[in-house]
């Protein structure tokens, strides 16, 4: 719940930094005026943490520092304007310095918490070995993309592939080499994808790729290129593996993500059962495209 709230605030702040700054400054100004009008008897000290927190969450550490300084300065002005009596003229400035220190500590702790939550969330959504997305993140991302593609009526290509003979690598070279192979395959493929595309590891040696707004021709060129690059690297390491790739370009999207994956998965397994090391790519609903 807290993670989702912080993520929402961060995404909003990234798109509306100017709004975040204005909102934070308005808050600190409102609190300062209220503090001045109510006099010394009522304390509003804790409320200055609100704009500091808002700026930190929406804008980041730099925003938190700016609002910490602004809050301490406005509090000092409110104190001086109230003509409060002090035993030494430097006391209000000392108080302002202490308040600034407290605001900055609060800001740094909140910023650190924000970063820790972000790191933990990232770890929970990625495969620890390859750095690719895990199934949980793929499912979340794919659902959003499906909704967007349905609105925009754009094609979408789903790719499911398996590393042939991967067990032989583990048995012959050891699991450390097998892990190195998986990481290399993920890295090579990721280097050929756009920022809007997504690679996910969904099994031991099985991966899925979502190619947003990509038609049959473009996705076919990409798959041929990726397979060629990966096979070149596998041969250079003398690893006896290949790729079986099933891909479906959807011109009209099925009702569910699982239905889409099953089609690509079935194509991949048909290759596994007929000799391996191939690409089978179709369009759905069927058009006059030949399969690879």
- b (16+ CB within 10 A) / e for 210-231: bbbbbbbeebbebbeebbeebe
Residue 182 structure tokens = 């998986």
Three-state secondary-structure class, residue 201: strand
Region of 276 please: left (phi>0), alpha (psi -120 to 50) or beta.
left
Looking up tokens 């430097």, which residue turns up? 90
205 counts as catalytic:
yes
Give 236's Cβ-side CA count (13 Å radius): 8
d(CA 55, CA 64): 5
CA dihedral 24, 27, 31, 36 (to 10 degrees): 90
Geometric angle at alpha carbon 42, from 39 and 48, rounded to 5°: 95
d(CA 63, CA 161): 45
Residues 6+ apart with CB under 8 A from 199: 132, 133, 186, 189, 190, 193, 207, 208, 209
**Which residue among 35, 127, 164, 205 is the active-site one?**
205
Rounded to the nearest angstrom, the gap between the alpha carbon of residue 151 and the centroid of all alpha carbons in its chain is 23
Mind telling me the catalytic residues? 205
């Amino acid at each position: 719940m807290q993670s989702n709230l912080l993520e929402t605030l961060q995404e909003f702040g990234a798109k509306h930094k100017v709004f975040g700054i204005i909102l934070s400054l308005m808050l600190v100004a409102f609190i300062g005026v209220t503090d001045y009008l109510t006099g010394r008897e009522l304390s509003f000290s804790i409320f200055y943490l609100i704009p500091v927190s808002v700026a930190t969450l929406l804008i980041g550490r730099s925003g938190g520092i700016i609002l910490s300084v602004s809050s301490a300065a406005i509090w000092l002005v409110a104190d001086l304007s109230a003509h409060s009596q002090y035993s030494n003229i430097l006391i209000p400035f000392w108080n302002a310095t202490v308040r600034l220190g407290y605001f900055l500590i609060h800001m740094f702790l909140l910023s650190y918490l924000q970063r820790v939550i972000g790191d933990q969330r990232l770890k929970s959504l990625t495969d620890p070995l390859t750095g690719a997305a895990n199934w949980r993140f793929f499912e979340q991302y794919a659902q959003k993309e499906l909704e967007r593609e349905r609105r925009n009526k754009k094609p979408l290509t789903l790719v499911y592939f398996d590393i042939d003979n991967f067990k032989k690598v583990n048995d012959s070279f050891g699991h450390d080499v097998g892990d190195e192979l998986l990481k290399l395959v993920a890295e090579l493929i990721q280097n050929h994808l756009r920022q809007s595309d997504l690679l996910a590891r969904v099994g031991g040696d099985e991966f899925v790729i979502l190619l947003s707004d990509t038609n049959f021709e473009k996705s076919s060129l990409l798959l041929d290129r990726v397979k060629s690059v990966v096979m070149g690297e596998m041969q250079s390491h003398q690893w006896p593996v290949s790729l079986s790739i099933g891909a479906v370009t959807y011109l009209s999207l099925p009702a569910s993500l699982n239905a889409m994956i099953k089609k690509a998965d079935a194509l991949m397994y048909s290759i596994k059962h007929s000799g391996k090391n191939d690409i089978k790519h179709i369009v759905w609903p069927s058009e006059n495209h030949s399969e690879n």
